[in-house]
Amino acid sequence: MAKFTHEAIFEAAYQAGEIPGVALVAADATGKFRYEKSFGKTAHGEPFLTDSVVWMASCTKLMTSVAALQQVQRGHIGLDEDVGKVLPEVAALKVLKDFDAEGKPIFEDRKEPVTVRNLLSHASGLTMELFSPKLQQLQKFTGPPANPPKDIVTELSLPLVFQPGKGWQYGSSLDWAGKLVERISRQSLEDYMKANIWDPLNMRHITFAPDSRPETKERKLGMTQRDEDGKLHPTTEGYLYQYGDRKDAYGGAAGWGSAESYLNLLQSLCANDGRVLSKELVDEMFKPQLGPEGKETVNNRLQADESTRRLIANTFDTTHLVGDHGLGGFIGLKDVVGRRKAGTMAWGGLPNLIWWIDRKSGLCGALFSNLIPTADAKITEMMMQFELSIYEQYEEFKKRESI
């Protein structure tokens, strides 16, 4: 049996109380190499298994990207077509340019339409207060909403923070992309993804409503929190966006699921097997999509504080990294020694989930945790060890296969 060097490292870290339970998965493009293993328990004492269900947060975005690209594939909308014909609420938004001396907002009209390509690469100008100082300043001027918003249109119809295609800003773009899919398909995002992504790929434990299905409800795990002193303890707080009170399925961050199920999507895209998306559109997903302004913004963020670097780049080598964004995740444009090749796409989810797809090496995988705060330094360190071990054993696997 192959010896995976990361396993002893993970077990020791768990026993030392340095990490809570995690699930690790990986697969190659052929489907012959597949790795699934879990370690430990949550701080609530629940075993963390590869089919345990956790809040996936922004891991949802990759599924929504595929769903939106399916609309392009079927001819319902063009990749560079104005989404305003389906999302008139987006078409009505202006760009927040600046504030005058008295703090009054200055708006300008859009010069270009918001397109599907813009939405999937975070180049639309759409975002939310959480990620934008400009929108935070605007809210100070306008005041908070009288009632907490419960749906995408009410909550996220906020001014753009730059002209479409002229920047990069994480935020609400994929939530709007999910709404686009619902309106074109005339189905809920749950029903649409189940029929067009989850069932075709046997992703049994993925949903927007985990309590609505016995197979996901019984697998749900509690959240672990790391305090400032590094200690881990159970918590029911800190689920920043549980979405249980929302009327919509938010395609940007409301999904729940297991590492085991999610790997099936990663593997399908890595293999470019055409099962949920055409080969041409998968190729397009993995192309750098940003204009010069957006690329400059992303790479400037990579030189920010360590937490921001981990959040955007997860386990890419940020010392030498040049990055861009595809139609589904962040793309590293340089090789990482012993691990990810140039062109690898990756992203993650707030409770310290990380995934990657390296089509050049033919390898993909993920770490699923359920730990806050996000961008945990220890989890990032452990993920690097996991990847080094997987790439090493995959090379050995290929040698054995070639004999």
Inter-CA distances, 259 with 27, 120, 147, 252, 308, Å:
12, 23, 36, 18, 24
pLDDT band, residue 309 (cuts 50/70/90): confident
Q: Which of 185, 202, 220 is the last residue of a domain?
A: 185
The whole-number pLDDT of residue 402 equals: 85
123 and 79 in a common domain: yes
142 and 250 in a common domain: no
Residue 1 forms part of a structural domain: no
Residue 65 forms part of a structural domain: no
Alpha-carbon torsion, ordered 199, 202, 208, 211, to 10 deg: 110
More confident residue, 242 or 181: 181
pLDDT, one tens digit per residue, over 109-155 is 999 999 999 999 999 999 999 899 999 999 999 988 888 889 999 99
pLDDT, one tens digit per residue, over 319-340 is 888 999 999 999 999 999 999 9
Least confident of 57-66, 147-156, 171-180: 147-156
Least confident of 47-61, 93-107, 140-154: 140-154
Spatial distance between the Cα atoms of 348 and 330, rounded to a whole number of angstroms: 10
Q: Which of 131, 155, 185 is the last residue of a domain?
A: 185
The answer to whether 167 and 297 are in contact (CB under 8 A) is yes
Spatial distance between the Cα atoms of 290 and 121, rounded to a whole number of angstroms: 7
238 and 358 in a common domain: yes
Residue 246 forms part of a structural domain: yes
Domain that holds residue 158: 70-185
179 and 307 in a common domain: no
User: How much is the mean pLDDT over the chain?
Assistant: 95
Spatial distance between the Cα atoms of 364 and 342, rounded to a whole number of angstroms: 14
Whose CA is closest to 176, among 319, 77, 304, 47?
Answer: 77
pLDDT exceeds 90 at position 158: yes
pLDDT band, residue 197 (cuts 50/70/90): very high
Residue 128 forms part of a structural domain: yes
User: Domain holding 208: CATH number?
Assistant: 3.40.710.10
Q: What is the DSSP letter of 47?
A: B
Q: 182-193: string of b/e by CB count within 10 Å (b at 16+)?
A: bebbeebbbebb
Inter-CA distances, 27 with 53, 56, 265, 359, 372, Å:
20, 19, 11, 11, 27
Whose CA is closest to 239, among 56, 62, 17, 23?
Answer: 56
195 and 174 in a common domain: no
165 and 211 in a common domain: no
Q: Provide the domain count of the chain.
A: 2
| Tokens coding 355 | 């995934």
The whole-number pLDDT of residue 303 equals: 85
Residue 282 forms part of a structural domain: yes
pLDDT exceeds 60 at position 43: yes
| Average pLDDT rounded to a whole number, residues 289-309 | 91
| Average pLDDT rounded to a whole number, residues 89-105 | 96
360 and 268 in a common domain: yes
pLDDT exceeds 90 at position 349: yes
| Tokens coding 137 | 């300043």
97 and 55 in a common domain: no
Spatial distance between the Cα atoms of 135 and 138, rounded to a whole number of angstroms: 5
26 and 161 in a common domain: no
28 and 77 in a common domain: no
169 and 207 in a common domain: no
Q: Which of 165, 185, 205 is the last residue of a domain?
A: 185
The whole-number pLDDT of residue 146 equals: 81
Spatial distance between the Cα atoms of 328 and 268, rounded to a whole number of angstroms: 14
pLDDT band, residue 1 (cuts 50/70/90): very low
Question: Quick check: is 58 catalytic?
Answer: yes
The whole-number pLDDT of residue 241 equals: 56
Q: Catalytic one among 38, 52, 58, 261?
A: 58
Residue 77 forms part of a structural domain: yes
Whose CA is closest to 375, among 318, 299, 300, 320?
Answer: 318
pLDDT, one tens digit per residue, over 225-280 is 999 999 999 998 766 556 788 899 999 999 999 999 999 999 999 999 999 999 99
Spatial distance between the Cα atoms of 139 and 121, rounded to a whole number of angstroms: 26
Please name the residues in contact with 259: beta carbons below 8 A apart, sequence gap of 6 or more: 23, 24, 25, 36, 38, 50, 51, 52, 366, 367, 368
| Average pLDDT rounded to a whole number, residues 40-63 | 97
132 and 11 in a common domain: no
The whole-number pLDDT of residue 240 equals: 56
Percent of the chain beyond pLDDT 70? 98
pLDDT, one tens digit per residue, over 64-90 is 999 999 999 999 999 999 999 999 999
Considering only CA atoms, give the Rg of the chain: 21
The whole-number pLDDT of residue 125 equals: 98
Percent of the chain beyond pLDDT 90? 88
